[in-house]
């Protein structure tokens, strides 16, 4: 779908669910089956084909992040998440960013890493030399296991030999590892990588005279990074009866805190991943792999640090994010799960690389919303207002009573289940008999 759309859907959040679905269906030209898929989800029969010992399916709310503009293009972003305020935060932050020019993003080629662990190899220098000398033979063998990938321009491109200190200390044998660098094209590539690593293992043993144990991909995909940035005029940040300069300073101080302290960085990055995981789940990605890679990347220099940073530059608040994103538009549940297929159609990305740029921008948008609140009025006021609906439902409210109880909770500044039950009982007692 190449025609231009806008992600600025004013008043969308006020519409009934059916009207929201109708709006998106018309914009994206969804078929009846695609519309039904968004509401019905995965069948038990399909679930039984996907996993072992299936007994049913488990649903998450699916919503849309709005206002996102990346590299001058608008995206309506499907997000599967149970936590209130995540989608609202992304949409609100993206609206502010687009007024400053939107997000700029880029992503590396889809190079993944396969690891082959070698032991009992004798002299480490000689074993390393032999592996490098047989580089072309090893790459050719790896590519022989996936000729179709090679024909599409992907496949094993390079290798590297790493010698790691023994965990037992100087008396232990250093760990010899062969890294295979593989272009996985539109796939995340786990099965492809593992097949290649297992396939070359006998030749690696023959070359080194050693023994191979582990042969598997690495989820630290640091050759496959995505980056996004934004520039927001400081004056545009004014809110909460505070000048833009004060809010910008609070955001920068929050960033400095995360850069210095791993305890803060962990929570900072959790906020980033709130947005990224929600898009990953909606689009059928391996979100556990994404999480593992992101957090490993965050401590690449020996200390756990934030994935995103904020600074003041020439009257602008500048945000930047960089992290590994091993994504796919083929493979896994993508062609099997009906909601995933529809979500990708709504998102309108043409490649895994484009998807990673959008996802990085979503992560930065979510982080901006969080640190903007944290550095000014605190995070609870906005979050608890949205959380109030969940509390009302937990207390037993249904239908129009949900909003009524939620609004009363916020007005009373007591977003608690017991208070919600008290309010619900009071409202119900006011209803005419028989209603």
Active site residues: 83, 270, 286, 383
SS3 329: coil
- Alpha helix ranges (H) inside 122-231: 124-133, 135-144, 147-151, 190-208
Cα 408 to Cα 419: distance, rounded to the nearest angstrom: 9
Chain CA centroid to CA 287, Å: 7
Closest to 156 (Cα-Cα) out of 188, 183, 191: 183
Q: Count Cα neighbours of 176 within 13 Å in the Cβ-side half-sphere.
A: 23
Closest CA to 76 of 21, 39, 116: 21
Q: Exposed (0-12), middle (13-18) or buried (19+): which is 302, by Cβ within 10 Å?
A: exposed
Helix locations, 135-261, DSSP H: 135-144, 147-151, 190-208, 244-260
Rounded to a whole number of angstroms, the CA Rg of the chain reads 25
What are 112's strand-pairing partners?
Answer: 182
Return phi, psi of residue 283, to 5°: -105, 15
Burial tier of 112 (Cβ tally within 10 Å: 0-12, 13-18, 19+): buried
Q: Residue 224, SS3? A: coil
| Cβ–Cβ under 8 Å, residues 207 and 159 | no
**Spatial CA neighbour of 33 closest among 281, 330, 284, 339:** 339
**241-247 long-range contacts, CB within 8 A, separation 24+:** 242/376, 246/376, 247/372, 247/375, 247/376
């Amino acid at each position: 779908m190449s025609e231009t759309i806008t992600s600025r859907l004013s008043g969308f959040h006020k519409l009934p669910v059916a009207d929201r679905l109708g709006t998106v269906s018309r914009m994206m030209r969804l078929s009846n089956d695609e519309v039904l898929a968004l509401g019905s989800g995965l069948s038990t029969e399909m679930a039984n084909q996907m996993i072992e010992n299936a007994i049913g399916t488990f649903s998450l709310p699916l919503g849309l992040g709005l206002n996102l503009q990346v590299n001058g293009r608008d995206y309506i972003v499907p997000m599967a998440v149970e936590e209130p305020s995540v989608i609202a935060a992304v949409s609100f932050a993206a609206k502010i960013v687009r007024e400053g020019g939107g997000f700029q993003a880029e992503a590396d080629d889809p190079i993944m890493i396969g690891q082959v662990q070698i032991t009992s190899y004798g002299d480490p220098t000689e074993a390393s030399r032999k592996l490098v000398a047989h580089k072309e033979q090893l790459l050719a063998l790896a590519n022989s296991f996936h000729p179709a990938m090679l024909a599409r321009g992907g496949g094993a491109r390079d290798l590297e030999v790493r010698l790691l200190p023994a965990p037992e200390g100087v008396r232990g044998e250093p760990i010899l590892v062969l890294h295979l660098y593989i272009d996985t094209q539109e796939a995340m590539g786990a099965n492809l990588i593992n097949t290649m690593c297992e396939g070359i293992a006998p030749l690696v043993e023959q070359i080194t005279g050693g023994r191979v144990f582990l042969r598997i991909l690495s989820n630290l995909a640091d050759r496959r990074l995505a980056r996004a940035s934004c520039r927001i005029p400081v004056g545009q940040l004014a809110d909460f009866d505070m000048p833009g300069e004060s809010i910008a300073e609070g955001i920068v101080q929050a960033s400095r805190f995360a850069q210095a302290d791993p305890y803060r960085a962990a929570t900072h990055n959790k906020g980033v991943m709130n947005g990224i995981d929600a898009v990953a789940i909606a689009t059928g990605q391996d979100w556990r792999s994404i999480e593992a890679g992101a957090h490993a990347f965050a401590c690449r220099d020996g200390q756990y640090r934030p994935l995103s940073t904020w600074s003041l530059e020439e009257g602008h608040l500048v945000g930047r994010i960089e992290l590994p994103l091993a994504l796919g538009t083929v493979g896994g549940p993508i062609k099997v799960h009906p909601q995933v297929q529809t979500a990708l159609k709504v998102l309108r990305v043409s490649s895994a690389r484009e998807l990673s740029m959008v996802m990085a921008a979503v992560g930065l948008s979510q982080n901006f919303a969080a640190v903007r609140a944290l550095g000014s009025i605190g995070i609870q006021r906005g979050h608890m207002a949205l959380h109030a609906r969940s509390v009302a439902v937990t207390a037993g409210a249904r239908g129009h009573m949900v909003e009524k109880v939620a609004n009363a909770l916020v007005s009373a500044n007591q977003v608690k289940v017991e208070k919600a039950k008290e309010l619900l009982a009071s409202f119900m007692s006011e209803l005419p008999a028989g209603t």
